[in-house]
A and B are shown apart, each in its own frame.
Chain A
Amino acid sequence: MFDSSLPETWALNPTGSASGMTCRASVATSTDGTGSSGRTRSRIDGLRRQAPLVPRPTGASGFEPFVDGDPDIARVALTTAAAGPLGGDHYIFDVHVGAGSTLLLREVSATLVLPGAHGDPSLMHCRVTVESGGTLIWVPEPVIAAQGCHHTHRVDIDLAEDARLFYREELLLGRHGEEPGSLSSRLNVRRGGRALSIQRFDLGPAGKGFDTPSVVGGALGVGSVVIVEPDGGLPDATAIADPKSALLPIDDTCVQVNSLGDDGLALRKRLDAALAALGEPWGRETGWSAVPR
């Protein structure tokens, strides 16, 4: 049977063990008095690196949802020191945002998932907790399913009742002109232990019916943004900018954006447009840039 901590994980070999590289990295933050802005200062007080997952402290750059330019928050960039994950690799990435602290988490480059030598399944499992009063702004780059891969990308985010979240997810089916690999992406956002926003996309050859007019059609980019704002003020009605992108209210303190694109660029533009329409502090009209912002 499957490892009970990872039930029904897509296509993992039955023992749940890694035939490739196993790696664990983590980030933790806490509060650190009052900063120059007069607001609570956050600090990074745990940073575990294990190649190829290397989280490093970083500075502010470009537009940042919610925390734009705030000098007192903690900023970490996740870098990958090698290609991958490859088939057989199991990566675990733990994030702990301590009570009252704020973490902005980004990535330096997209994650290219490759099949590896034996075509074994690979796993990236992110386990995230945001404690009371904490804020996590997580803006990763796309996950690209290269031909032949069998990858599960799982993100579990457990929020305290009054925690705040911005999380973006972009899934791309293959590199340019390439047949896609199989990618199962699961996002589980829970608040106070209760289900809040749960999504799963099974894409590529192992995703039955994914390329149909009731699921994602011919789109090669599938993306979403989940925003949880305990102070409210989010839209309470659906906003549809075009037929392939919608902002959907989940409840008074949570909205979700879902978009499709013919490629990564089209997808990013739709997500950004939906956020810009939502307005400050979550999105802003900006010229689009190919470099990660």
Chain B
Amino acid sequence: MRSRSALLVLADGRLPTGGYAHSAGLEQAIRQGWVTEIGGLRDFLRGRLHTTGLMNAAFAVAAWNAVDEFMLAEAAPARSSNAESTSESTSGTASTTSTAEALLTLNAELIARTPSPALRRIGAWLGTLMLRSMRSIHPHPLLETLPKDLQQPLVYGAVGRVLGLSDADTAATILHEAVTGPATAAVKLMHIDPFQAHGAIIDLAADLDEAAERATDFGRGDPAEIPALSAPLSDFAAELHEGDNVRLFAS
């Protein structure tokens, strides 16, 4: 698999997976007066990447590693035509089940770290969107066996695996999206120009790389020990946003 090219596709904001309708709480943070200028935006992004972004990236890495090797091989389109022996298809079913169970456990761990009901709902919606889109973009049997309503980072992990990315690159993708989403939204929400918004992302490059490394380490370990890295203002923003009738972004 050409993983570098696939990485660029997965990290591209134009990938049709519905993310563009979300500001990751930035619209509400601006409405509340918590973010008012470019410095505030930079801080907002930095806080987000080291908390929610890092945690989500760690869960994506955990999901990547939860996909059973045997199952991935078993599910590969090239081999699906010559499933010969009964024993092979039986163990294939077993690994489908074990992968699904592992992903459901991870989903429960992630939900327990997401106290905002709005963020849990949005996470499941974005996960469903990504899965729906990737099934059309790059059909793969593994994507047909994932449990329903998985939170988005877990779908990212499975998709990264299917696309042949490394777990570390999958983590980097999530962190990239965690800042580019709100930075792109910022241009519609604040009196800043698009050059400043992207300058803020470049300024955070070292932070993003470091967070991706930490996320990879956490994600490869015991899922129960993945840090929650709570971000209460992001939780409040998500809940306050639900109550606002006039809004540009869904979250």
Contact = CB atoms under 8 A, between A and B. Distances in A.
Is there a contact between chains A and B in the complex with CB atoms less than 8 Å apart?
yes
B48 interface: yes
Nearest to A245: B236
A253 B228 CA distance: 21
Interface residues of B, number: 46
Interface string A51-87: 0000000000000000000000000000000000000
Nearest to B55: A200
Contact of A186 (B111, B218, B227): B227
A214 interface: yes
A199 interface: yes
Given A7-B225, A213-B29, A214-B234, A196 B112 contact: yes
B225 A248 contact: no
Interface string B108-149: 110111011110000000000000000000000000000000
A271 to B, nearest CB: 12
Interface stretch (A27-35, A89-97, A215-223, A285-293): A215-223
Given A186-B228, A238-B242, A199 B113 contact: yes
Interface stretch (A37-45, A115-123, A204-212): A204-212
A240 B233 contact: no
B232 A195 contact: no
Nearest to B224: A195
A199 B233 contact: no
Contacts of B237: 214
Interface residues of A, number: 37
Given A7-B222, A213-B35, A208 B236 contact: no
B222 A213 contact: no
B233 A214 contact: yes
Contacts of A216: 231-233
Nearest to A239: B239
Interface stretch (B39-47, B162-170, B190-198): B39-47
Q: Which residue, of A200, A243, A244, has the highest number of chain B Cβ atoms within 10 A?
A: A243
A188 B242 CA distance: 28
Q: Which residue, of B35, B44, B224, B228, has the highest number of chain A Cβ atoms within 10 A?
A: B228
Given A238-B242, A246-B239, A210 B47 contact: yes
A243 B30 CA distance: 13
Interface string A103-120: 000000000000000000
A211 B115 CA distance: 20
A195 B231 CA distance: 18
Given A199-B228, A201-B230, A215-B47, A244 B236 contact: yes
Contact of A198 (B32, B113, B218): B113
A252 interface: no
Interface SS of A by simple majority? strand
B46 A248 contact: no
B235 A214 contact: no
A246 B51 contact: no
B236 A240 contact: yes
B15 interface: no
B222 A195 contact: no
Contacts of B116: 238, 246, 248
A229 interface: no
Given A7-B222, A222-B232, A248-B116, 8 more contacts: A186-B227, A213-B43, A214-B52, A214-B237, A215-B233, A238-B117, A248-B235, A259-B232
Interface of B: 25, 29, 32, 34-35, 40, 43-52, 108-109, 111-113, 115-118, 207, 218, 221-222, 224-225, 227-237, 239-240, 242-243
Closest 7 CB pairs of A and B: A212-B47, A195-B112, A209-B50, A209-B47, A213-B34, A214-B47, A212-B43
Interface of A: 7-8, 186, 188, 194-202, 208-217, 222, 238, 240, 243-246, 248-250, 256, 258-260
